[in-house]
């Protein structure tokens, strides 16, 4: 017997619709010059986007922060000015008050002093994590909204920042290639929405989350519920007299065949495509116009996976498919995915890893093998995770091939959603988004070219809109303060699968209960405000974020060029970047490889930016050099005293760990210790268990390890993430020289000191 679960009614439909209409109307009727919006152009000069690594825009920043504080104080004074003051002159003169302020002052000074020992992410020398200086508009937006402490869980607690979140959600959708619904005054009521065929007008929807992990969990949650929704409806049609008029409901299977839902086999019910599933409530409403949403919700809820759980639902309604569902993704996928599988009751063991190729991208033939095994064993596949910018390699999985593969398996009767984990890589889509803004190059004094994405990357980014859902983190390549993740759905109806309501199509306008969608409850309106103001000033197109990330790409490629050519010098170490030269990747001769290295040294390294951009051959090579985005991954090996290359992978591991220890924060570091850090990087490992024998052995061979197949020791590698657009600017004297010398001089010194003989606790053990 199904137990009735009592929950607080946060979803009061009538009140929700009324508030939505009123909120939207208030927004639309404002004068255009007062209306908050994310249409049109922003600014184009990078120097105005940041506080500055040396605090160059400090005066402007202080002025604007003071304006935000003043406005907040004025609000306090103007809200019911007839109300009494509590903190009067007499109170301020009391001993208790003075003691309280003394304690506050003392502890505040103590805190700000201690905070100086934080990682200096604002510096050119920070090359480790996916974090650099946040944009000045973002900080100002965050501080301004923070003073009002808005909670975007409900519009009543955040009437302004809820609007900002919806504007940002739409803007993120557009950047990623989705089509969100424009804001409009007239909203259909719920009954009308339910009776509208969602396949006629599919619109996207996005929202802010705490981070990419939360977005990934929500994405898997939505896909899991989507997979089992037809099973629940089939059961309800079979057992509920109230749905008798809807028993003739038909659906189109992933094979293209049309059948009555009530007659589907278990396997067929588990393999229907997304838009077809999300149209089911509307189809029921068409067959039985007398049914309303609340009644339909109440009926279907009894049969849902949300209510019954995996065990009871499978046992009662899926006797022919008793196997647990799986999700599939590359071995490079983020650690949040095993968490998601565990939290959703699937079990991390049902998250299937696929090996990666030499580029760090998912190996499509191995993926095909996994999918075929699932088809043969009738194992439901909930989703295929595709990474658009891996955390450690900056690799973009081949979305074009993966989409074609899904079409191939749909013909065989296997369907699943495709979720793009673009937490890091999502904002790089701005590099291909056009704009009508004028003066796209800006008028700055310095000059850093913005380098286009490679042809391969552009091909993948043009297909983002084909996926069901996308994770994107404004607090990564959007330069927004934490916490600001994001999740976008291609079909807005999918968001309802992570609430306890039917998946009714979203027809535009503002949803005042944006906070009920997803994992979180309370959420800071300040995050939406920060993202809004940054997007308003730095547009997510080729004139804004596209330009910023294009300059970072240019910097990253020039840094990579130096990594490739350092081995042409005589020294006591070598460096192995994740990817070799383009010539070597293309299987060209040793002569061609040497010629390309010589070309890089003469036409790219130490050549002024203004000259490189006039050299089409150099620009084309630079564009296709190295990794897919602005992450550079590499490791070092060393020469023995007799001049031979070290063959002990454990010693190589130790050397790279010593490099990382030199260039990282240590527990207990104070500000004086931090100031002595010449650079900060991060690190990770390539193990054969996770990446496959071929991938790791290839890297070891390139590092002059002669018998790589004999070693089970992982490769400890260094990661530098170039989020700073300016190190190659001639006005700065080319800061890349300083970074290069810092790295290579330190490695040489560590080799001389035989740091590789000091074995620390193995990370991989």
Same domain (yes/no): 569, 467: no
State pTM to two decimals: 0.92
193 assigned to some structural domain: yes
Q: What is the pLDDT of residue 1?
A: 44
35 assigned to some structural domain: no
Q: What is the pLDDT of residue 447?
A: 47
403 assigned to some structural domain: yes
Q: What is the pLDDT of residue 129?
A: 81
46 assigned to some structural domain: no
Domain edge (last residue) among 508, 537, 566: 537
Same domain (yes/no): 494, 565: no
- pLDDT tens digit sequence for 705-751: 999 999 999 999 999 999 988 777 656 557 888 888 899 999 999 99
Domain that includes residue 679, residue range? 545-579+626-757
Q: What is the pLDDT of residue 33?
A: 81
Domain edge (last residue) among 537, 561, 588: 537
Q: How many residues does the chain have?
A: 765
| pLDDT < 70 regions, the chain | 1-17, 20, 184-200, 436-449, 500-515, 729-733, 759-765
Same domain (yes/no): 182, 315: yes
Q: What is the pLDDT of residue 201?
A: 78
CATH number at residue 218: 3.40.640.10
136 assigned to some structural domain: no
Same domain (yes/no): 387, 530: yes
391 assigned to some structural domain: yes
Q: How does 357-382 read in b/e, with b if 16+ C-beta sit within 10 Å?
A: bebbbbbbebbbebbeebbeebbbbb
Q: Which residues pair with 489 in a beta bridge?
A: 205, 469
CA distance 456 to 388: 12
Q: How far apart are the first and last CA of the chain?
A: 48
Tell the burial category of 94 from Cβ atoms under 10 Å away from its Cβ (0-12, 13-18, 19+). Answer: exposed
Number of domains in the chain: 2
83 assigned to some structural domain: no
Same domain (yes/no): 478, 571: no
- pLDDT tens digit sequence for 69-125: 999 999 999 999 999 999 999 999 999 999 999 999 999 999 999 999 888 888 888
Same domain (yes/no): 327, 195: yes
Domain edge (last residue) among 503, 537, 571: 537
Same domain (yes/no): 518, 555: no
410 assigned to some structural domain: yes
Same domain (yes/no): 284, 188: yes
Geometric angle at alpha carbon 675, from 668 and 721, rounded to 5°: 90
CA distance 333 to 748: 34
Same domain (yes/no): 410, 292: yes
Same domain (yes/no): 190, 266: yes
Same domain (yes/no): 517, 558: no
Same domain (yes/no): 526, 566: no
């Amino acid at each position: 017997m199904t137990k009735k679960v009592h929950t607080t009614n946060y979803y009061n439909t009538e009140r929700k619709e009324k508030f939505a209409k009123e909120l939207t109307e208030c927004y639309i009727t404002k004068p255009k010059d007062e209306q908050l919006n994310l249409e049109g152009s922003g600014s184009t000069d990078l120097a105005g986007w940041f506080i500055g690594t040396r605090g160059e825009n400090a005066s402007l920043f202080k002025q604007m922060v003071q304006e935000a504080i003043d406005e907040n104080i004025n609000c306090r004074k103007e809200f019911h000015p007839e109300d009494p003051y509590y903190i009067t002159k007499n109170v301020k003169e009391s001993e208790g008050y003075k003691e309280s302020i003394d304690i506050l002052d003392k502890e505040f000074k103590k805190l700000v002093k201690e905070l100086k020992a934080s990682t200096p992410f604002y510096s050119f020398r920070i090359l480790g994590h996916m974090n650099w200086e946040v944009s000045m508009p973002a900080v100002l937006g965050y501080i301004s909204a923070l003073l009002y402490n808005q909670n975007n869980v409900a519009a009543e607690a955040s009437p302004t920042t809820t609007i900002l979140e919806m504007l940002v959600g739409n803007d993120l959708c557009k950047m990623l290639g989705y089509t969100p619904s424009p804001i409009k005054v007239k909203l259909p009521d719920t009954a009308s929405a339910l009776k509208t065929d969602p396949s006629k007008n599919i619109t996207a929807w996005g929202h802010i989350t705490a981070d990419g992990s939360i977005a990934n969990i929500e994405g898997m949650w939505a896909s899991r519920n989507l997979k089992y929704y037809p099973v629940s409806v089939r059961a309800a049609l079979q057992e509920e007299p109230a749905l008798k008029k809807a028993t003739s409901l038909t659906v189109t299977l992933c094979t293209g065949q049309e059948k009555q839902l009530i007659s589907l086999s278990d396997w067929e019910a588990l393999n229907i495509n997304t838009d077809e599933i999300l149209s089911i409530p509307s189809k029921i409403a068409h067959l039985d116009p007398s049914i309303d949403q609340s009644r339909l919700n109440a009926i279907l809820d009894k049969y849902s996976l949300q209510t019954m759980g995996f065990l009871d639902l499978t046992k009662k309604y899926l006797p022919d498919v008793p196997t647990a569902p799986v999700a599939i993704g590359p071995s490079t996928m983020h650690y949040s995915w095993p968490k998601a599988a565990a939290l959703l009751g699937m079990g991390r063991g049902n998250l299937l890893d696929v090996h990666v190729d030499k580029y760090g991208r998912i190996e499509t033939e191995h993926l095909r093998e996994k999918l075929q095994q699932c088809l043969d064993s009738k194992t439901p596949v909930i989703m295929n995770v595709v990474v658009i910018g891996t955390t450690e390699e900056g690799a973009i999985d081949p979305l074009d091939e993966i989409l074609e593969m899904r079409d191939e398996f749909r013909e065989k009767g296997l369907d699943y959603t495709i979720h793009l984990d673009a937490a890091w890589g999502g904002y790089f889509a701005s590099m291909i988004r056009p704009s009508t803004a004028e003066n796209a190059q800006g008028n700055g004094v310095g000059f850093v070219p913005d380098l286009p994405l490679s042809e391969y990357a552009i091909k993948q980014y043009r297909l983002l809109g084909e996926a069901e859902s996308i994770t994107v983190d404004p607090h990564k390549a959007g330069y927004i303060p934490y916490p600001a993740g994001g999740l976008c759905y291609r079909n807005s109806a999918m968001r309802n699968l992570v609430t306890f309501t039917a998946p009714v199509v979203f027809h535009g306008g503002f949803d005042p209960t944006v906070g009920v969608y997803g994992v979180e409850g309370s959420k800071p309106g300040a995050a939406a405000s920060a993202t809004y103001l940054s997007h308003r000033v730095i547009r997510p197109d080729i004139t804004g974020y596209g330009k910023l990330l294009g300059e970072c790409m240019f910097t990253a490629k020039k840094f990579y060029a130096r990594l490739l050519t350092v081995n042409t010098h005589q020294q006591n170490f070598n460096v192995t970047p994740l990817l070799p030269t383009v010539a070597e990747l293309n299987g060209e001769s040793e002569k061609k490889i040497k010629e390309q290295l010589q070309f890089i040294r003469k036409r790219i390294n130490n050549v002024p930016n203004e000259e490189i951009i006039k050299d089409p051959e150099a620009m084309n090579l630079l564009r296709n050099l190295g990794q897919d985005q602005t992450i550079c991954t590499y490791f070092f090996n060393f020469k023995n005293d007799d001049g031979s290359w070290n063959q002990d992978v454990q010693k190589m591991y130790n050397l790279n760990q010593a490099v990382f220890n030199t260039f990282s924060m240590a527990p207990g570091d104070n500000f004086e210790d931090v100031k002595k850090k010449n650079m900060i990087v991060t690190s990770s490992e390539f193990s054969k268990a996770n990446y496959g024998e071929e991938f790791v052995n290839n890297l070891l061979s390139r590092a002059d390890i002669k018998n790589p197949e004999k070693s089970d020791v992982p490769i400890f590698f260094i990661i530098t993430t170039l989020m700073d657009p300016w190190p190659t600017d001639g006005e700065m004297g080319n800061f890349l020289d300083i970074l290069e010398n810092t790295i290579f001089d330190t490695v040489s010194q560590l080799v001389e000191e035989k740091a590789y003989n000091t074995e620390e606790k193995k990370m991989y053990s």
